[in-house]
Amino acid sequence: MHKFERSVLIDAPIESVFHFHDNPENLLKISPPDVKVKLISATPAGKGQRVALDVTQFGFFTSRWEAEITVYEPPFKMVDVLHKSPFHSWKQTRLFEKISDTQTRLTDQVEYELPVDALSGFFAGWYVEREIEKMFAFRQKKTKELLEARTNQLAESVAL
Q: What is the pLDDT of residue 127?
A: 79
**Residue 40, pLDDT score:** 97
In angstroms, rounded to a whole number, what is the distance separating the alpha carbons of residues 108 and 96?
9
The reply to whether 49 falls in a domain is yes
Q: What angle do CA 141, 53, 75 make, to 5 degrees?
A: 50
For the chain, the domain total comes to: 1
- Residue 160 falls inside a structural domain: no
What is the pLDDT at residue 118? 52
The more confident residue out of 8 and 150 is 8
Pairs from 147-153 (Cβ < 8 Å, separation ≥ 24): 147/10, 147/11, 147/12, 147/16, 147/17, 147/20, 148/10, 148/11, 148/12, 150/12, 150/16, 151/11, 151/12, 151/13, 151/16, 151/102
Domain CATH code at residue 67: 3.30.530.20
Does the pTM exceed 0.85?
A: yes
Range of the domain at 130: 2-154
- In a domain? residue 44: yes
pLDDT reported for residue 140: 98
Q: What is the pLDDT of residues 49-75, one digit of tens each?
A: 999 999 998 777 899 999 999 999 999
Using alpha carbons, list the distances in angstroms from residue 67 to 31, 80, 82, 87, 103. Answer: 16, 6, 4, 12, 28
